[in-house]
Amino acid sequence: MRTLALVVVYLLGSVSGAAMSLKKFENRSSLIVLVVIDQFRADYLTRFQKQFLPANLKNGQPGGFRFLTSQGAYFPFAEYDVFQSMTCPGHAMIATGAHPYLNGIPLNESYDQDKKDMLYCVED
């Protein structure tokens, strides 16, 4: 069974669809916020947009999803290039850009040699 996942990637700072100049690349933001919401369909962001906070609140604070989609990089049609996606390999693939066989997280579980037992990928 294929898990439906929405990949919402937001790079805070100045994001442009055009190629970046060397000067702009060197001065890029050091903060990257990656938001992944499992089982959250891409159309929910547009379907329920009226229920979300405005992009900028009156007190100067950012306003959640509307702020992120208007000020960040938003990829509603992102897809994994793998046969079957699982939670941990999928998140690692999004964060690193590498396929599971390269990033070292091919499954949700791995064998812990010290405990002699299977370990879920978010247990540590």
Identify residue 24 by its one-letter amino acid code: K
pLDDT tens figures, 48-83 = 888 888 888 778 777 788 888 888 777 778 777 787
71 or 12: which leads in pLDDT: 71
pLDDT tens figures, 17-49 = 456 677 777 777 777 778 888 888 888 888 988
| Short-list 77, 76, 78, 64, CA closest to 33 | 64
* pLDDT given for residue 20 in this prediction: 66
Distance CA 33, CA 64 (A): 13
Question: Domain limits of the chain?
Answer: 1-79, 82-124
40 neighbors 6 (Cβ within 8 angstroms)? yes
pTM, full prediction: 0.58
Distance CA 124, CA 117 (A): 13
* pLDDT given for residue 32 in this prediction: 79
Distance CA 70, CA 18 (A): 17
pLDDT at 118 exceeding the cut of 90: yes
60 or 116: which leads in pLDDT: 116
Quick check: helix, strand or coil at residue 103? helix
Identify residue 101 by its one-letter amino acid code: Y
